[in-house]
A and B are shown apart, each in its own frame.
Chain A
């Protein structure tokens, strides 16, 4: 049966005119290359190369068939690329983002993956850390950006990236002077906090740090940052966010003195040195994309 490998041997030998070099191009050793050529010649029913001392030359039959072999190989390459683009399984890179990942950073991570894998599909889902980790473990997601700390259960992970946060504070409790504030000054309103079950360890770390720096003021549960921002706009809550773009009329944006409540993010993937499906050299770029803009 004619195989892709026979065609590779034929074209490589015609280009290199040397058995050793051709074997290196194909990525095999010389004996299987010679054997492959003999099989191809018996399939074709003609000699394709004249082997002299140190020289390999196309026979007339070889020269006549070579263009067809090149065309067949490039068609097979096109087929491989088409498979990558369709991505029925394995060639699609699925990314999961925790909701605390600012939109611009999530976009930068996805873009870094897209740039590294031109021609293949990148899909993105958003889900809480506690929901992303089982999907990463099961291999349904190739890559996740989750809150740190989280129980990673044997998953591989990149370094911890810290994003500074701002407090979005209703003007009526603190003037919108763009100056840093200490958490302690913000005890007039509850701090909006997303549900604890979404990321128990990270949320507890947030709440413990909040309680240490701000003994009074309490918290109020919100489903997401949009709700938190709306609560701030209504003068009902303070929102702590790493997203530089969230804004609303009547709500001031302030750095927190000492940055006591950073958002800690970590790139996570199924156990291996680099995420499966992502070229290894792309990993540092994806990790870099996680950092503050």
Chain B
């Protein structure tokens, strides 16, 4: 059975729709793909293209990564981690905000960076990176606003409870790629490849992205597929309702590297679905093994 059909079976068994693209960093002609050109809402994976745009502006001298930013609690976007859950004003450098955005998916830090980079400037940079299908239309704060509007809920917890309820239909449009920040699995591996091969960023910024993504605390998706200390995974997850994603670079003990993007949409609404998290790692493992 081909790698793609084995991966489809993994998604089916986990009760999720899946989209995948995987390619060796040094052999972009070799791929494993499952509907890799379908545009999918990115959830927090948008923080990767945002980071790439930020780092390019640092390279261009347009942004000083050491600039200190004071982030007031009242201005902060809600979220489950990072500055989003802290009570007091925080002053951090832009690059440390980027670290918090990537390692714990800090929504508040991400929206500060998105404001700094600017949506229009980011969309020009993404086109410059050669990403045809990637759009960062909204940050985390706007995503929450849209979710509140569509669910009619009063606060984010109540809105996510609507998505988690298996006894009713999801409100129309909550997983609509057309209005959300969206991308394709192929675009994401292309972005990872062009970062890791040093095509779009300086050596210093390339190193910053790789190191930051290696520090991500979430190990339950891509990393779970490679339970070996000798395999390094640098990734960025995305989670929003039934959407569970991770894109990243897997480096094996022989130093061969693979860019992998896995997007999923679970049938169940539950906030915790460890089978789907594990399926993301399993799908990545099958893809990487077939490309070795």
Contact = CB atoms under 8 A, between A and B. Distances in A.
A189 interface: no
B71 to A, nearest CB: 38
Contacts of B17: 151, 153
B169 A201 contact: no
Interface residues of A, number: 20
Interface stretch (B58-66, B183-191, B244-252, B263-271): B263-271
Contact of A157 (B13, B16, B169): B169
Interface in A139-160: 148-153, 157, 159-160
A203 to B, nearest CB: 9
A162 B165 CA distance: 12
Contact of B267 (A151, A159, A208, A262): A151
B12 A200 contact: yes
A204 B275 contact: yes
A282 B167 CA distance: 24
A201 B17 CA distance: 11
B176 to A, nearest CB: 13
B207 interface: no
Given A149-B15, A153-B17, A201 B167 contact: no
B168 interface: yes
A151 B16 contact: yes
A200 B14 contact: yes
Interface residues of B, number: 18
B91 interface: no
A132 interface: no
Nearest to B16: A151
A239 B105 CA distance: 44
Nearest to A133: B12
A159 B169 CA distance: 6
A171 B12 CA distance: 39
Contacts of A153: 17
A151 B12 contact: yes
Interface in A196-245: 197, 200-202, 204-205, 208
Contact of A151 (B15, B168, B169): B15
Interface of B: 11-17, 166-169, 265-270, 275
8 contacts: A149-B15, A151-B15, A159-B168, A159-B169, A160-B168, A200-B15, A202-B267, A208-B270
Interface of A: 130, 148-153, 157, 159-160, 162, 197, 200-202, 204-205, 208, 262, 264
